[in-house]
Amino acid sequence: MEVRIGVTHASREISLETGGSTEDVHRAVSDALDNDANLVVLSDQKGRTLLVPTDKLAYVEIVGETGRRVGFGTL
């Protein structure tokens, strides 16, 4: 699943592929914001850890699993 994070005062978003579920990512972000934590901590599929300051979060977009499209047909 892909997670895109917007950071204030940054022109590009952060994008990572995570093996966790939508609920896991949602819970990590919500817990960090609800508990006044300084960082949101997420890990990607390659074992890297991403730390984002909660006061710099602009948005978090969670893109669920979608099947890859193959072929040349139009849908």
pLDDT for 19 equals 86
pLDDT one-digit tens code per residue, 4-21 = 999 999 999 999 999 888
Q: Which residues of the chain have pLDDT under 70?
A: 65-71, 73-75
Please report, for the chain, the start and end positions of each structural domain, with discontinuous segments joined by +. 2-63
Kind and range of the H or E element at 73?
A: none
Residue 2: φ, ψ to 5°: -100, 140
* Cα angle for residues 59, 61, 66 (degrees, 5° grid): 175
Biggest alpha carbon–alpha carbon distance for the chain:
48
Q: What's the whole-model pTM score?
A: 0.77
pLDDT for 21 equals 87
pLDDT for 69 equals 59
pLDDT for 20 equals 84
